[in-house]
Each structure stands twice: as C-alpha cells, then as structure tokens.
Amino acid sequence: MHSPVIARLSTLAAAVLVLAGVAPSQTLDRIVAVVDKETVLQSELDAQVEFFALNNRIDPGTPGLREQVLESMISEKLIVAKAIEDSVTVTDEEVQQQLDAVLEQRIQQVGSEARLEELYGMPLSRIRLEFRDEMRKNLLAQRLQQERFGQTTVGRREVEEFYETYKDSLPRVSEEVELAHIFIRPQVSEDARAATRAKMQLLVDSINAGADFADIARRHSEDPGSAAEGGDLGLVRRGLFVKEFEGAVFSLSEGELSGIVETQFGLHVIQLLERRGDAVRARHILLRMERTQADDDSTMAFLERLRERALAGENFAELARKHSEDSETNLVGGQLGTFELENLDKNLSSTVSPLKAGEISPVTKLPVGTSYGYHIVLVKQRIPAHDMTLEQDYRKLEALALNYKKVRDYEKWVTELKRDIYWKVYL
C-alpha cells in the first residue's frame, strides 16, 4: 500500500528535483530502469530518495526505501505512457503555471532568484527549459489519475466492512477539542496612520521624480522578506495575496505604480513588473503603522467585554459574526473546527488546554504572520482519546476507507499497465 503514497508525494517529478535542492545531473550515471520509451537514471533515483527521506525525516539508507521509490517512479512513467497513448493533453499555460509555482516555492526556500541560479549554475530561464518537459509529463499523469480515480466514493456498507476488517489495527484517536474564537486586531490611531501615509507619499514622490524603485525599497521598505530584493515578490498566483493587495496589483498595467494601499500589514505602494496568465510579478514598498499600547489596551478591553457577555448567556456565534475580524471564520460564528490537542499550535494549545467544555479563554495575543491581534477562544467540546468507533468517528473512517479503496484500485491498475507496457529494471 505504499507506492501510491510515494506517487502522490512525487506527483511532479521535476518539482522533486527542484524542491530537493538537487541540481540537474552533470553526468548520466547509468540507466536503472526503462519504461516504454523513457529511462530512469541513477542520479534521478538518488534525488528522489533524498527528497522522500528529507520530507519524511527518515534515513535515506533505510532498507527497501530505494526499491520502493524506484517502484513509484516506474509506476508514474507507466501512467505517463498510458496518458500519451490515450491522447490526454495539458496546455502550455498549465505547464507554465505549475512550473512557475514550483520555482517560486523553491525561490522562497533558498531566499532569492539569484541564490537559486547560483545553486543550479544557470539562469532561471534555462532552469525553466530544463524542467518543462518533465513537468508536462507529470501533469499528464495527474490528469489521467484524476480522470480514473477522481470520482471514487465509498458507501456506508464499504466503511462498515473496512472498520470490521481493520478495527484492531486502526490508529487510536488522540484527545480532540472543538474550538471557536473571536479575533480583533488593534486599530491604528489616526495620527499614526496620517504620519505613515505622509512618509509613504514622500517615497512615491521620489519614485515619480525618477528615483529607482528597487533602491528606495532596499533602503525604506519594512518587509523583511522582499526589501533586500528591491521589493520584488516574485511570480505569485491569484488568491495568494491578502484581499486589498490583490485587488490593487491585479488592476495595474505592466510598469504602472499603484496609489497607497492599506492592508493589515501596513501601507504599500506597488509596481506591476509582469503579468503571466493568472499570476503576476510585482514589487512593493511596505511601511508599517505602529500601534501603541493604548491601541492594544482598547482592543483587549473590548474583547473582555465580549467575553463577559458570552459568559452571561449571549450567543458566542452571534457575537463572532458581528465582531470578529477573522474573515475565514466570522460568517460561521467563529468556528475553527475540531483538532487533535497534541497537534495544535503551541500558542493555541497553551490557551485551550486548561479549559473545560463550554469555557472561554481569557483575552490572548495571537501572532498572525508578521502582525498580530487578540482573541478569545471557546472550547465547544472536548473529546477524550479513544479507539475509533463507527458511531463517533464515521467521517475519519470514511476517509480511511476511501484512501484504502483508491490505493487498492491504483495498485491493480498499475499491475495491468505493467502487463501492457514494456518496462525493465537494471539494478
């Protein structure tokens, strides 16, 4: 049952090499497997093993790991061959977007485009060319697998049969807590906002007068992730920026400078460098608006009043819908979900661990990226650690049964492909 898991982890073979930090091989070691018209090289296998070991925190020399990873690579190449045979297609734009996303992730990991180019010993344009074909093949494999298994479902009878078969070996469910919260950010005083805006306007005026944007960003931007790169944010897909920033950047033409944009992080001025499909490359300057202790005290006092009202009997969900500034949860009454207590973020765990079901935490500071806010947390229920049962854990069992079914069908399919498509191992 392991090979489909590895297949999912290595869905983008080109991405594996990029994300593992392994530069393209300079020598063609030797061929370790042939699948249809494709080969698997020793260097490629080594990179995949290192990547899998790194992500799963195991020794790359673990007995059987190399064979298991090679089996996964062979399976994926069999699927690519089948996808080509079945005339499955992906567009150039899809390939480019996926490749850009992978490279952007790697750039963020190593710190800059220049560092990535240094690691690979080639410009970014050539890196894209080196990996484009492998990216296309792996997108073909993804698409064919989605077509074959994307609509797979399990009925209640299948879940019950799975449970009866495996109940003695199912993992024990750790203690869980169901949580909701009300989150509020301290408001910046009008004086602080006006002073920061005036400072930003001076920078904008300098840029409009001919000053170099990148130089201004390096000297004045308060975004530690981009200032050293002249404010360059790299290529970012739609949906990854906060709402106000995204609305501004996607309204710009290439080379155009935005007005002053306010987000939860502060004030920005943005310049669009490049638009590519549903992604943009932009640079920005950020100035933070400093909050005072009085701003924080006012927010904490307001949250404490909301806490007292909830403890006095007012509906917590209604208070969250009306007052919480967490846009992802306020419309659902502040509902955060159900979590295993041992897997909670350390700050949140320390807040809720002492609480019983129905209790509300004191006002607590909550870091949010490079910013922060304050919240109160309601423990709606605590579910003790227990062995899985159909009555209490049906959704978890349904997910396990569905995954088991997909794994079983995947392995059966790969066995059929091995009968129909030529392959050979040379280990």
Question: Of 287, 312, 344, which residue sits at a domain end?
Answer: 287
Which residue segment(s) compose the domain that 104 sits in? Answer: 3-154+402-425
| Residue 159, in any domain of the structure | no
| Residue 107, in any domain of the structure | yes
Helix (H) or strand (E) holding 90: none
140 and 56 both lie in a single domain: yes
Instruction: Say if residue 53 is exposed, middle or buried (CB neighbours under 10 Å; 0-12, 13-18, 19+).
Output: middle
Q: How many domains are there within the chain?
A: 3
138 and 27 both lie in a single domain: yes
Residue 323's Cα: distance from chain center in Å? 28
183 and 196 both lie in a single domain: no
Which tens digit of pLDDT belongs to each residue from 369-417?
A: 767 899 999 999 999 999 999 999 999 999 999 999 999 999 999 999 9
Question: Of 240, 271, 287, which residue sits at a domain end?
Answer: 287
260 and 200 both lie in a single domain: yes
Q: Say whether pLDDT at 422 is over 80.
A: yes
Closest to 218 (Cα-Cα) out of 284, 289, 288, 290? 284
Which tens digit of pLDDT belongs to each residue from 306-363?
A: 999 999 999 999 999 999 999 899 999 999 999 999 989 888 999 999 999 999 999 9
φ, ψ (nearest 5 deg) of residue 284: -150, 165
| Residue 271, in any domain of the structure | yes
| pLDDT range class, residue 23, cuts 50, 70, 90 | very low
| Residue 89, in any domain of the structure | yes
410 token code pair:
């995947």
| Residue 315, in any domain of the structure | yes
| Cα 246 to Cα 237: distance, rounded to the nearest angstrom | 10
| Cα 158 to Cα 163: distance, rounded to the nearest angstrom | 9
271 and 299 both lie in a single domain: no
The least confident of 104-118, 172-186, 245-259 is 104-118
The predicted pLDDT at position 120 comes to 76
343 and 358 both lie in a single domain: yes
89 and 70 both lie in a single domain: yes
Strands 364-368 and 335-340 come out as unpaired
**Cβ-based neighbour number of residue 385 at 10 Å:** 12
Residue 18 exposure: Cα atoms within 13 Å on the Cβ side? 29
| Cα 79 to Cα 85: distance, rounded to the nearest angstrom | 10
Three-state secondary-structure class, residue 369: coil
196 and 330 both lie in a single domain: no
The predicted pLDDT at position 304 comes to 97
The least confident of 28-42, 97-111, 361-375 is 97-111
| pLDDT range class, residue 8, cuts 50, 70, 90 | very low
| Residue 149, in any domain of the structure | yes
| pLDDT range class, residue 22, cuts 50, 70, 90 | very low
376 and 314 both lie in a single domain: yes
Residues 6+ apart with CB under 8 A from 267: 196, 197, 200, 260, 261, 286, 287, 289
The predicted pLDDT at position 287 comes to 95
| Residue 390, in any domain of the structure | no
341 and 242 both lie in a single domain: no
Which tens digit of pLDDT belongs to each residue from 58-85?
A: 998 999 999 999 999 999 999 999 999 9
**Cβ-based neighbour number of residue 397 at 10 Å:** 21
| Residue 18, in any domain of the structure | yes
Residue 424 identity: K
253 and 317 both lie in a single domain: no
Residue 138 maps to which CATH number? Answer: 1.10.4030.10
Averaged pLDDT, 28-38: 88
| Cα 349 to Cα 344: distance, rounded to the nearest angstrom | 5
210 and 89 both lie in a single domain: no
Residue 280 maps to which CATH number? Answer: 3.10.50.40
